[in-house]
Amino acid sequence: MNSTQEWQNVTWFEVDEHQLGQRIDNFLFSRLKGVPKSRIYRLIREGQVRVNKKRIKAETKLNIGDQIRVAPIRYEQKDENAVPVSDKVAQSLLSRVVYEDEGLMVVNKPSGIAVHGGSGVAYGLIEGLRAASGKKYLELIHRIDRDTSGLVMISKKRSTLKLLQDMLREHKIKKTYAAVVKGTVTLDRQLIDAPLHRYELANGERRVRVSKEGKESKTQWNVEERFMHATLVYASPLSGRTHQIRVHGLSIGHPLVGDDKYGHETEYKGPKPRRLCLHAMRLEIPGYETIEAPLPEDMQSLVAQLRAQKADKPVM
């Protein structure tokens, strides 16, 4: 056994200049190792996390000198002798850096690795990069799903983190994803405008659905190529909701190929995918050059197979 379940006493944190402006949920994700994100959100909702003795929300921003109290919780205590990130894995992640300057690092994350450890994951992208680079300050600017591949922005300075997170909040950064979806999408271009509501399953897993009670959510879909059983779409979310592209695709009858959470029961007769067919392919950031990551080999292979099926279709 590399870990045991133990009770943690009341924990106190004090915010310094490096955490100024950071959301409380993101702050806790990086410090309560072994505690699932769903549990952290529940602690916040139940008032078991207090900032300066006051109840807060997940999106509450921190100020220098804030006193954070976390009630006793059960957490996973890892073996101190365990090595969470091997040198080989760490160096492999470092080799996937596609852009870097004094404040920003952009990494082409492979599918199958989480952006950070926790929730049963020994380590994630950020832990691997810290181990490989030896840099003490590396922070995620945003997140993509574990099964999604592609571009992830990481700050090397607090000022860069704040600047780019402000840009994201103000919708100044354009993110474009490549997605292979089930069926033939009819419209070449469409704006999917459907509010999204996040909820939890009985096991604490987070899910999202279209709901009038949800938050405003818009995604621009542009068809890149059509096949017999699927369509290659370039999708640009105009808001940053959890699972947005996946749920918006489902809402118009075109769930993503390889999605085991949304629309997996929808019929699909094309070649079997290895994973969720979603790739963060392009970032357009004001003041920066456009940053791109080509389709990974597994998605390129799937698209090639879909093209072959289209070519083999008999002419009527």
Low-confidence ranges of the chain (pLDDT < 50): 1-7, 77-83, 314-316
Contacting residues for 152 by C-beta, under 8 A, at least 6 apart: 106, 107, 109, 115, 125, 140, 141, 142, 143, 144, 280
Report the CATH number at residue 50.
3.10.290.10
Q: What is the pLDDT of residue 82?
A: 39
For residue range 114-126, what is the model confidence (pLDDT) as tens digits? 887 755 556 788 8
273 in the same domain as 207: yes
Mark which of 149, 170, 191 sits at the end of a domain: 170
Cβ atoms of 69 and 47 closer than 8 Å:
no
Alpha helices, DSSP H, located in 95-216? 125-133, 158-169
Of 231, 237, 204, nearest in space to 45 by CA: 204
Q: What is the pLDDT of residue 128?
A: 86
Q: What share of the chain is helix, strand, coil (3-state, %, to 5)?
A: 20, 30, 45
Residue 78 lies in a domain: no
Last residue of a domain, one of 170, 196, 212: 170
Distances (CA, A) of 316 to 230, 269, 270: 20, 20, 20
pLDDT tens profile 93-110: 889 999 999 999 999 999
Which of 66, 145, 147, 259 is labelled catalytic? 145
Q: What is the pLDDT of residue 5?
A: 41
**DSSP state letter for 274:** S
Q: What is the rounded CA–CA span in Å between residue 60 and residue 65?
A: 15
Is 175 in the same domain as 235? Answer: yes
Active site residue 147: no
Q: Are residues 41 and 134 in the same domain?
A: no
175 and 307, same domain (yes or no): yes
- 3 state SS of 139: strand
Same domain, 306 and 223: yes
- What is the predicted pLDDT for the residue at 79? 41
Rounded-to-10 torsion of CA 227, 228, 229, 231 = 20
- Structurally, the chain folds into a number of domains equal to 3
216 and 299 co-located in one domain: yes
Mode of pairing for the β-strands spanning 174-182 and 278-284: antiparallel
Residue pointed to by tokens 């456009």: 290
In a domain, residue 1? The reply is no
Q: Within this chain, do residues 305 and 185 fall inside the same structural domain, yes or no?
A: yes
Query: What range does the domain containing 46 cover?
Result: 11-70
Q: Is residue 292 part of a domain?
A: yes
In-domain check, residue 4: no
Residues 114 and 165 in one domain: yes
Write down the pLDDT at residue 81. 40
Return the sign of the alpha-carbon dihedral for residues 256, 262, 264, 265: negative
214 and 138 share one domain: no
| Residue linked to tokens 């133990």 | 6
What gap in Å lies between CA 122 and CA 193, rounded to an integer? 37
Q: Is residue 77 part of a domain?
A: no
Q: Say if 316 falls within a structural domain.
A: no
Residues 142 and 164 grouped into a single domain: yes
203 and 298: one domain? yes
* CATH number of the domain that residue 257 is part of: 3.30.2350.10
Asked whether residue 181 falls in the same domain as residue 236, the answer is yes
Which of 170, 186, 220 is the endpoint of a domain?
Answer: 170
| Assigned domain for 80 exists | no
Q: Tell me, what's the pLDDT at 38?
A: 80
Angle at 184 between CA 178 and CA 188, to 5 degrees: 65
**If you ran DSSP here, which 8-state letter would residue 237 be given?**
E
Per-residue confidence (pLDDT) for residue 84, from 0 to 100:
54
Q: Could you tell me if residue 164 is inside a domain?
A: yes
